[in-house]
Structure formats: structure tokens, C-alpha cells
Amino acid sequence: MKVLVAMSGGVDSSVAAAELIDQGHEVVGVTMRLWGGESDTGCCSVSDVDDARRVAQQLGIDHLVFNFSDDFNTHVVAPYVQAHVDGITPNPCIECNRHLKFDRLSERARVLGFDAVATGHHAQVSRGDDGVYRLTRGHDQLKDQSYVVYMLDQTELAFTMFPVGHMTKAQVRDRAVALGLRTATKPDSQDVCFISRTGGRETFLGNRIEFRKAAVVTSDGETAGAVDALELVTIGQRRGLGLPGGGPKQFVVDVDTPNARVVIGSEDQLLRTGLAVNNVMWANVAPTVGQKVLVQSSAHGTAVAASVESVSGANLVLRFDVAQRRIAPGQSIVCYDETNSFVLGGGIAEAINPASN
């Protein structure tokens, strides 16, 4: 097969390319140039592009660079900024996967005559006897990344390869060391690529939007403090709310954007038994009402038991077996099968979720 490997300049994608070469595939590496601004984190720096190019040289494969910066700004950066204005907590890395790696890149790969695209994600694709493709958790439970690629449908699963999904992270690094790859000991990217360590989220957003002051109020409407930037507040937050010391712990239970208010309450007031999800995509077919699922709401979170209360088109309502902390609107919600092995599908947490009852 002719495979286009997305090489971010990290160790996982480097070894992914090496694994495919060993399997006898015709491999070409590609690095996507996404962010043209300041970057000292993530996978968009000049040094990352150079690392990917040098690894390709070590492996003896061609290396391409695709400039998708306009798409990145349109589908990732601009929505990230707008989400904060709207009081939503975005997940830009997932949107990058959705719109760039598994849309724009796959589209370009097909045009160029490739049979598949591959990435260094710790996830796996399997195909059952019924011909249905499944997105399965990565072998390394601590590094599993199936959550961040949940948007893959049957067409994309058939076109996607995850060559290191069957390996542990330690095995990936050992393989890179054995091959003498320059990325063998390179630390994993942990941060949003367009948010610099020096300036942080506050500086990035402050250069693009005007922050609004907001009152911090209790659930009874009593004023308890104030914040200088409503756009930087998210559900579940405890610090930076201008509250006096002492007393019981208080958490952000709601961000009232239209009225410029941050509502605080006890941890119990954060609890919800219901969760509404929109923009849902299914790997194959939608689950049925009453079906038991496991629900994960963050990349490295623990999946919790729930059942499908309703499902209609791209909308889903889940009911947790045990009440959970309210999930910030804008976060990705991924449903796994009851065995917690493979992805059923997922979507985005709605701004208004069913109350605990």
C-alpha cells in the first residue's frame, strides 16, 4: 500500500513511519504547517518540522510539507477564540484532528493517490467478520488516544492506520532508540500548539478579544466576588474568583455569559445525572434507547457508566448511573461499548444539560 504518514516531529509518528516501512508499505512522510504565529509548545514549531524532516531522511523516505494554515485558523483558532467569548470551553486539539488530520489531510492524500493515511496516535482500527470497522482503544491504557479521534466514521476508519496503537509508549521509545531516531527521547507534546508557555491563554485571548468583568454570585444571587475576565472562567473552576479565604469550597457551577455573571456553589451543586450532547457522530450505527454505554469526557479521564435516554440525529441525551460533576459546555463526550474496548461515537457537551434529579 502507498501510505501518507503525518509526521509531527514527535517519537510516535516517527516510529509509526518506521513500522509501516517494516511492513513493506510504500511510505511518504508529511508535516502539516498549521500555525504561523508564535509557538514554543505543541507540534507546530519550526524545530518540530525540522525533526520530522530529519527523521524521514534517517528512514530513507520522502518528506512533504503541506501548508494548511488557513484551514487551521478557520476551523481551530477562530472557533477557539469565539468559544471563549460565548462562555464555552473548547477542545482545539480534537477540532484539529477533525478538520485537519482526518479531513483536509485525508482529502489531499486521496487526490495524490495514496491508499491510506497514518498517524502516531495510540489507538487501533480493527475490522470484524461483518466487515464493520471499529476504533479500539490503544494497547497502552495510560497513553490511549481513541478519545481524541472519536470522529472517525466507517469511510475514514477504512482509510486510516495507527501503526503504534498495539505498542506501549516504552516500546515506541525503545524502537526509536534501536533505530537511532533523533526523536527517541523527545518529550511528548502536552499543550495547545498556538498557546505559548510565556504568554499563556490569557495573553493569546487578550490580544484578540476584549475581556469583560463579571460578578461572582452564589446560586441565590448574592454577590461574592468578581473576575476581570469572564472569558477565562470555566465550569468546575475554584481559583481566581476573587473569593475571600476560609469557608467551604466553592466551585463555578455556571457561566452566565449574557448577564456577565459567574455562579458559584458547592461540589454537590455541580452534580448532574443527565448530559445532553450535540453534533454527535457514530463510528457505525447509533445506539438504541436504554443501551448501556461508558462515557468519557476528557482525554485521560475515567469512563463512567451511563445509559442512552434518547437519540435523534446528531443529538443525544445520556443518563449517568451515578451523578457526575457537570461537564463544561464545548467539551467532547465519547461513548464506548460496555466493555470499554471500542468507540461507539461522540459529540459535544451542550450548554444546557439536564439537571440532576
Nearest to 355 by CA among 270, 286, 292: 270
Grid cell of 332 as nine digits: 467532547
Specify which residues 275 forms β-bridges with: 318
Q: Which of 140, 161, 139 is nearest to 149 (CA)?
A: 161
CB atoms within 10 A of CB 75: 19
Q: Could you tell me the three cell numbers for 87?
A: 462562555
Active-site option among 43, 93, 96, 335? 96
Q: Which of 43, 44, 93, 193 is catalytic?
A: 193
List the one residue out of 221, 212, 325 whose CA is nearest residue 263. 221
Active site residue 193: yes
93 is catalytic: no
| Contact (CB, 8 A) for 295 and 335 | yes
The residues that are catalytic are 96, 193
